[in-house]
Amino acid sequence: MSERRRPRREDRTASTEPASISGNNVIWMGGRRGPEPWVEQLRPGHPRRDRTVAKLHAVLLRAAFHELSRRLGQPRSISGPEFDDLAQQAADDALINVLARLDDFRGLSRFTTWAYKFVMFEVSAKVARHAWRRQPPSRHELAFERVPDPLAAGPGDRLEQQEQLKALAVAIGKLTERQREVFVAIALNDVPIDVLAIQLGTNRNAIYKNLFDARRNLRAGMAAAGHPVPERDAA
Amino acid sequence: MTDLRRLDELLRAEDGDAGCTAGEDILDAYVELELAGEDPALVFPGTAIHLQSCPGCQTDHDGLLEAARRFAHVKPQ
């Protein structure tokens, strides 16, 4: 199997769930749907298998093209000659994952929705890899220097707000090095989370755990300094 | 004026957040509930919280929702 065809979803699930994050507390889950023709016809030995695999690849490729197009406006998105190739790679790898995981399909959604999920994961991974190769996060994007302009207080702002931003800067300085670089890159400099994960040699879930802890610590630090940030529902 | 809501968004870290991995398995069921007009937060509260805070999972969710809306009615033959 070529490098481009190797499924990489295991990269996203390698770490254990963060201790401070609760896992998905499912309250209710709907019933299983009836027999799924896609699954039956994709099984080895089915007389229509080859034709069904080809059709599935075609619909996955359509979804991959659409998803890449949808992401064109996002930071570090794909453009140019790599676009078609990445869509093809995403569809190829999604198909491999779907065929390998047929027994995991529980009928909680339409089969195609379940299959498109693998397209989304592959597109995310490939866009991030592509972006990282072309434009890895700079040292500047990971290091805290100042509160960015869109957030910073203007000359007409009240002293209280300026003090609040000073408290934020102090709290950022008290984060662990990893929490600080993750928060600064993602929250302040819009570095995509998957690009940062590649840069730091880890996965999305681990980066999110760092971000979650950083946010918690910053909020607590600002509250301790006398500048609590009202939560959305309390605002 | 400094926007406190912007600051709140930057620092959002809610209790009950399921994290990224937990949502991967159920994201398809989550969007199907949305397309059916139901509230997925009632079934998957941890992922509903997570999707408000994780930019990567938000993007996957939005893409899957759109793909399911546009392309899910495909039969194998």
Question: d(Cα A158, Cα A164) in Å, to the nearest integer?
Answer: 10
- The b-or-e profile of A32-44 (16+ CB within 10 A means b, else e) is eeeebebbebbee
The mean predicted confidence, pLDDT, of chain A is 83
CB A46 within 8 A of CB A40: yes
> Which range scores top for mean pLDDT: A8-12, A58-62, A188-192?
A58-62
Question: d(Cα A182, Cα A96) in Å, to the nearest integer?
Answer: 32
Percent of chain A with pLDDT over 70: 77
- Please tell me the predicted confidence (pLDDT) of residue A161: 75
CB B18 within 8 A of CB A23: yes
Q: Looking at the partner chain, which of A12, A112, A219 has a beta carbon nearest the beta carbon of B24?
A: A12
- Please tell me the predicted confidence (pLDDT) of residue A8: 39
Query: Cα–Cα–Cα angle for A113, A18, A120, nearest 5°?
Result: 20
User: Has residue A232 got a pLDDT over 60?
Assistant: yes
Residue with tokens 């990489």: A8
Q: Is A77 on the interface with B (CB under 8 A)?
A: no
- Please tell me the predicted confidence (pLDDT) of residue A152: 60
CB B41 within 8 A of CB B48: yes
Does the distance separating the beta carbons of B72 and A112 come in below 8 Å? yes
Question: d(Cα A172, Cα B48) in Å, to the nearest integer?
Answer: 27
CB B41 within 8 A of CB A41: no
pLDDT tens for A93-107 read 999 999 999 999 999
Higher pLDDT, B44 or A10: B44
- Please tell me the predicted confidence (pLDDT) of residue A32: 57
Q: Looking at the partner chain, which of A12, A74, A216 has a beta carbon nearest the beta carbon of B13?
A: A216
Higher pLDDT, B26 or A227: B26
- Please tell me the predicted confidence (pLDDT) of residue B1: 38
pLDDT tens for A174-185 read 999 999 999 999
Higher pLDDT, B8 or A16: B8
Average pLDDT over residues B36-41: 97
Interface test with A, best of B3, B8, B11, B57 (most A CBs within 10 A): B11
pLDDT tens for A96-155 read 999 999 999 999 999 999 999 999 999 999 999 998 998 888 887 777 776 666 566 566
Question: d(Cα B59, Cα A137) in Å, to the nearest integer?
Answer: 20
CA distance A54 to chain B (A): 10
Phi and psi (nearest 5°) for A13?
-120, 15
Q: Where are the alpha helices (DSSP H) in chain A?
A: 9-12, 37-42, 49-70, 82-100, 111-134, 139-142, 159-173, 177-183, 193-199, 204-224
Lowest mean pLDDT of A74-83, A171-180, B59-68, name the range. A74-83
DSSP state of A21: S
* A41, two tokens: 């016809």
* A127, two tokens: 């866009």
Question: Taking Cα atoms as reference points, which of A71, A233, A56 lies closest to residue B76?
Answer: A56
- Please tell me the predicted confidence (pLDDT) of residue B8: 86
* B32, two tokens: 């199907």
Percent of chain A with pLDDT over 90: 58
Nearest chain B Cα to A209, which residue? B19
Question: d(Cα A41, Cα A96) in Å, to the nearest integer?
Answer: 15
- Please tell me the predicted confidence (pLDDT) of residue A51: 97
- Please tell me the predicted confidence (pLDDT) of residue A154: 62
The mean predicted confidence, pLDDT, of chain B is 92
Does the distance separating the beta carbons of A205 and B20 come in below 8 Å? yes
Does the distance separating the beta carbons of B15 and A25 come in below 8 Å? no
Taking the whole predicted model, whether its pTM rises above 0.80 is answered as yes
Distances (CA, A) of B67 to A33, A113, A119: 20, 8, 10
ipTM over 0.85: yes
Amino acid symbol at A195: V
Question: d(Cα A18, Cα A31) in Å, to the nearest integer?
Answer: 29
User: Has residue A5 got a pLDDT over 70?
Assistant: no
